[in-house]
């Protein structure tokens, strides 16, 4: 057994304030010390470096060790963030930080630990009054003029995960962190970990709990995104919180906006960090919306709206005679384009200022560019993630295909599944008043801007090295064609292209207005391929897309062997 691993594990054990993870680690150390090879491998994995402070902060599996999410790691992160904020802050007043948390296991514990450590470091610290959606925290950073915000959540990750998402105020306007702040915060965290046990970090209970008026202000601002028009009265819709924290907030907002309350999915409406009815608490995953569709059939509903567990994402389902069970989930690009069209029409109605823009991640549908050009708006394609989308100049609206929509950038500078739900309800109610539906709006979009269709091929792995192997193989030996479609060129974004920061992504440009982008997921052990095709009409585009999907699946499988 590696003596260095054992020494790190024992040092970790000595400072761990959590009885559960302390017992877990003590047992593992005893088993490893007695020669148990599996325990030795597990211990080595838990202390093989640190959980990386990267995409918006931390995210990982709960458990003891420096590569897991636990109270020691969170305390080091909080102390490091406090040190960064104190160093960046001016002499007039201490920096302000606001903290939120969702319904996952240990979320409230991590949030309370952070509040005590921030207060102990001299920061003005405000803790949200109860578990609430991530968008409420993002709103609070701007609304309270805070210097930073922390949301304890792992969003739609598996049940055993948790995370620590960081926002910055001031010039960052409440957006998620980007470089160089992420690296600077990580350096402060590492310094804390190297120099001081968390048991010796100063703590204080002198933090504030946010007033209920903060929540009321979020409700009012979000309801204003799309007040109920004529046609809303008879709208029948189903809502699921996916075992997350969205329901209280969503119900208050839709009531304030004037929409009828939905039929809920009882088994999924209350927060439950075990997520008992879904394999993955992500509306994108197969089967995740089955209970919502069953409820919709029974209620003869017009549409289904689902939030993910921290309610920063939105999924929409509509009746479909072509789908098994009579319902289908709209793709993130379909919803994103409808909401982008809505934003562009609104901008045209008020003669938006020069430079007003629509934005989406580069892996999202190129159809948004067509919308922007049609209405004379600027357009920005960014790297994946709302930390980039939210920083687009002149932003009116932004989205990414992974069910994220930023519909009200002056209020929340991040994806917000609650405000997006209001915008979708507004579209559905307006269409209903005209004798139309969301499905018919999609047809009208195709007729106006062209038939843009998208799909995704995802490869989930147990061994992350497989992802690196596939990316290296594609770089060394890119395909000349995919099925019957010729590959015109390959763009490697690792060197930084089109004004974007370097990122591990390849784009295959296809003949006939098509493309495939391949990148590792930033939050899950997945390789993702994003497929986009523009056809003469919906049927032509769908046929070409199906053939492309088969070819891309075969390509990834070949490189994974």
Token pair for residue 500? 């974007």
Active site residues: 155
Token pair for residue 434? 């005209």
CA angle 32, 36, 38 (to 5 degrees): 95
Q: Distance between CA atoms of 451 and 259, rounded to whole angstroms?
A: 31
Number of H helices and E strands in the chain, helices first, is: 17, 22
Tell me the CA distances in angstroms from 395 to 135, 168, 355, 508, one per residue in order: 18, 18, 9, 28
Yes or no: say if 72 and 198 are a contact pair by the CB < 8 Å rule.
yes
For residue 428, the Cα-to-chain-centroid distance in whole angstroms is 24
Scanning 172-237, the segments in alpha helix (DSSP H) are 181-195, 212-223
Q: Distance between CA atoms of 358 and 381, rounded to whole angstroms?
A: 9
- List phi, psi (to 5°) of 198: -65, -20
Yes or no: say if 60 and 163 are a contact pair by the CB < 8 Å rule.
yes
CA atoms within 13 A on the CB side of 490: 15
Yes or no: say if 271 and 243 are a contact pair by the CB < 8 Å rule.
yes
Please give the full DSSP string across 479-534, using - where no structure is assigned.
-SEETTEEEEEEEEGGG--TTPPP-S-EEEEETTTEEEEEEE-SSSSEEEEEEEEE
Q: Distance between CA atoms of 107 and 130, rounded to whole angstroms?
A: 11
Q: Distance between CA atoms of 399 and 336, rounded to whole angstroms?
A: 6
Residue whose C-alpha is closest to residue 452's, from 313, 326, 332, 323: 332
Q: Distance between CA atoms of 35 and 23, rounded to whole angstroms?
A: 19
Three-state secondary-structure class, residue 319: strand
Residue whose C-alpha is closest to residue 522's, from 392, 420, 398, 386: 386
Residue whose C-alpha is closest to residue 491's, from 507, 514, 472, 473: 507
Q: Residue 314 CB: number of other CB atoms within 10 A? A: 30
Scanning 358-400, the segments in alpha helix (DSSP H) are 367-374, 386-389
Burial of 531 from C-beta contacts in 10 A (0-12 / 13-18 / 19+)? buried
Residue whose C-alpha is closest to residue 438's, from 364, 329, 348: 329
């Amino acid at each position: 057994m590696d003596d260095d691993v054992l020494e790190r594990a024992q040092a970790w054990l000595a400072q761990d304030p959590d009885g559960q993870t302390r017992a877990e680690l003590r047992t593992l150390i005893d088993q490893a010390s007695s020669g148990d090879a599996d325990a030795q491998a597990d211990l080595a994995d838990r202390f093989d470096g640190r959980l990386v402070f990267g995409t918006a902060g931390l995210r990982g599996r709960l458990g003891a060790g420096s590569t897991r999410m636990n109270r020691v790691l969170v305390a080091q992160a909080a102390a490091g963030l406090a040190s960064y904020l104190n160093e960046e802050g001016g002499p007039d007043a201490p920096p302000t930080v606001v903290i939120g948390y969702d319904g996952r296991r240990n979320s409230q514990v991590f949030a309370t630990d952070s509040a005590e450590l921030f207060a102990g470091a001299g920061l003005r610290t405000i803790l949200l009054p109860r578990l609430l959606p991530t968008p409420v925290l993002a709103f609070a950073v701007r609304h309270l003029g805070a210097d930073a915000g922390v949301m304890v959540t792992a969003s739609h990750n598996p049940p055993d995960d948790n995370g620590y998402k960081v926002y910055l105020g001031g010039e960052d306007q409440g957006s998620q962190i980007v470089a160089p702040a992420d690296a600077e915060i990580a350096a402060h965290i590492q310094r804390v970990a190297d120099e001081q046990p968390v048991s010796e970090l100063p703590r204080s209970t002198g933090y504030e709990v946010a007033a209920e008026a903060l929540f009321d202000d979020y409700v009012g601002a979000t309801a204003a995104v799309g007040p109920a028009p004529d046609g809303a009265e008879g709208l029948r819709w189903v809502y699921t919180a996916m075992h997350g924290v969205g329901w209280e907030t969503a119900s208050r907002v839709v009531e304030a906006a004037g929409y009828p309350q939905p039929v809920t999915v009882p088994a999924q409406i209350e927060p439950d960090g075990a997520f008992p009815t879904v394999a993955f608490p992500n509306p994108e995953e197969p089967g995740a919306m089955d209970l919502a569709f069953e409820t919709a059939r029974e209620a003869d509903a017009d549409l289904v709206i689902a939030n993910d567990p921290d309610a920063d994402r939105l999924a929409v389902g509509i009746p479909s005679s072509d789908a098994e069970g009579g319902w289908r989930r709209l793709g993130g690009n379909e919803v994103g384009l409808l909401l982008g069209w809505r934003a562009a029409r609104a901008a045209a109605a008020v003669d938006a200022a020069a430079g007003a823009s629509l934005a989406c991640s580069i892996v999202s549908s190129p159809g948004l560019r067509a919308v922007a050009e049609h209405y004379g708006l600027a357009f920005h394609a960014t790297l994946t993630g709302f930390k980039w989308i939210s920083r687009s100049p002149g932003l009116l609206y932004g989205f990414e295909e992974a069910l994220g929509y930023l519909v009200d950038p002056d209020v929340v500078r991040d994806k917000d599944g609650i405000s997006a739900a209001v915008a979708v309800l507004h579209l559905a109610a307006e269409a209903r008043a005209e004798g139309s539906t969301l499905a018919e709006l999609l047809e009208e979009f195709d007729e106006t801007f062209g038939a843009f269709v998208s799909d995704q091929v995802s490869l989930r792995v147990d061994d992350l090295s497989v992802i690196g192997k596939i990316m290296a193989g594609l770089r060394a030996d890119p395909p000349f064609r995919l099925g019957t479609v010729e590959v015109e060129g390959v763009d490697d974004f690792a060197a930084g292209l089109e004004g974007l920061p370097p990122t591990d992504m390849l784009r295959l440009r296809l003949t006939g207005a098509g493309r495939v982008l391949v990148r590792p997921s930033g939050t899950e052990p997945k390789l993702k391929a994003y497929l986009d095709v523009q056809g003469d009409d919906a049927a032509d585009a769908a046929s070409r897309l199906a053939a492309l999907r088969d070819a891309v699946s075969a390509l990834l499988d070949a490189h994974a062997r």
